[in-house]
Amino acid sequence: MPTVKVHNLKNEEIGEVQLSDAVFGAPLNEALIHAAVRNFMANGRQGTSATKTRGDVSGSGRKLWKQKGTGRARIASLRSPLWKGGGNVHGPQPRDWSYNMPKKMRQGALRSALSARVREGNVFVIEAWSMDKPKTKDFSTSLGKLGLGGKTLIVDSLENENLILSARNVRHAKVVNSFGLNIYDLLYHDHLVLSRDAATELEQLLGSKSGEAPAAVEEAPAKPKRTRKPKKEEAA
């Protein structure tokens, strides 16, 4: 089981925590992580880009000149895609880019990414991120003491309003809860900071039950075989 040291906001080591192998010790699966990132980005697309077809642009629908006898190319409408200012052909139209990904695959990608972060040494566990009042300066000072200078993702409870209000003006830091953790944020940020309670909650949410031994199933008692009654001998 991977072991991570627990620090306080003063960067003092106060203990260790053993993380679950099922969540923080999974093998790296790049294909699964790539599929999860594509799904996340596709679901976030607005899909509102559009171009005007010949039925949407303005212009008269009358025939500009007669079909024959002018020496010019024949034309039916000024809104034809062949003319400047005409409609567009095969351009993008509003559509829904989102698609569903199986829940087990999403959870597997999160487990693989979390385990990779642990092996890289970019996972930090904090006892509790407690702040007396919402103040960005205090939050930035805490990041500096912990040595978190790059893009940092903090996973804690959303009930910690002082932390959320203090971090919302810091561009390189983001605060989410265990349910809001996604694969894109996990890969985008350089450091991952977990509170002790958040680490336990992630183990409960992403814990795999596949490794557990199945419960013993009692065999049903065999049904007694039916015996055919011997036929009575017919009287001679």
Per-residue pLDDT of the chain (236 residues; tens, 9 = 90+): 788 888 888 888 888 888 888 999 999 999 999 999 999 999 999 999 999 999 899 988 788 889 999 999 888 888 989 888 899 999 999 999 999 999 999 999 999 999 999 998 889 999 888 888 889 999 999 999 888 888 999 999 888 888 999 998 888 999 998 898 999 999 999 999 998 888 889 999 888 554 333 333 344 455 555 556 555 555 44
Q: What residues pair up with 111 in beta bridges, in sequence order?
A: none
In whole angstroms, give the CA distance from residue 199 to residue 118: 12
Q: Where are the beta strands (DSSP E) in 62-117?
A: none
The backbone torsions φ and ψ at residue 134, rounded to the nearest 5 degrees and listed phi first, read -75, 110
165-168's contacts with Cβ under 8 Å and 24+ in sequence apart are 165/134, 166/131, 166/134, 166/135, 166/136, 166/138, 166/139, 167/136, 167/139
* Maximal C-alpha separation, the chain: 119
In whole angstroms, give the CA distance from residue 127 to residue 6: 6
In whole angstroms, give the CA distance from residue 100 to residue 110: 16
**Helix, strand, coil fractions of the chain, as percent rounded to 5:** 30, 10, 60
Q: What residues pair up with 176 in beta bridges, in sequence order?
A: 155
Decide if 19 contacts 33 (C-beta within 8 A). no
Residue 197: Cβ within 10 Å count:
14
Structural domains in the chain, CATH included, are 3-43+97-206 (3.40.1370.10)
